[in-house]
Amino acid sequence: MDLNSAAWRKSSHSGGDGAQCVEVAVNLPRAVAVRDSKNPDGPVLFTTPTQWKNFISSIKRQSFNY
């Protein structure tokens, strides 16, 4: 997938020192991309917008099915 148009944003919960930072791009067609901000040229995790929405909803409700 071409990530040249990806608008990456860092989690508001990321530490100010740059450690443990996650960036997400939700502006891609039919995909959400997630990467480690310390390694922007490294691997990228892709998921569907529906899966991402469900993931975020689960975090907000603090309900996870293991």
Task: Spell out the domain ranges in the chain.
Answer: 9-61
Structure tokens at 38: 């310390």
Q: What is residue 22's three-state secondary structure?
A: strand
Question: Can you give the pTM of this predicted structure?
Answer: 0.79
Residues in CB range of 11: below 8 A, 6 or more apart: 21, 22, 23, 24
- pLDDT mean by block of 10 residues, the chain; 66 residues: 91 68 92 93 96 90 71
Angle at 43 between CA 38 and CA 54, to 5 degrees: 95
| Per-residue pLDDT at 2 | 87
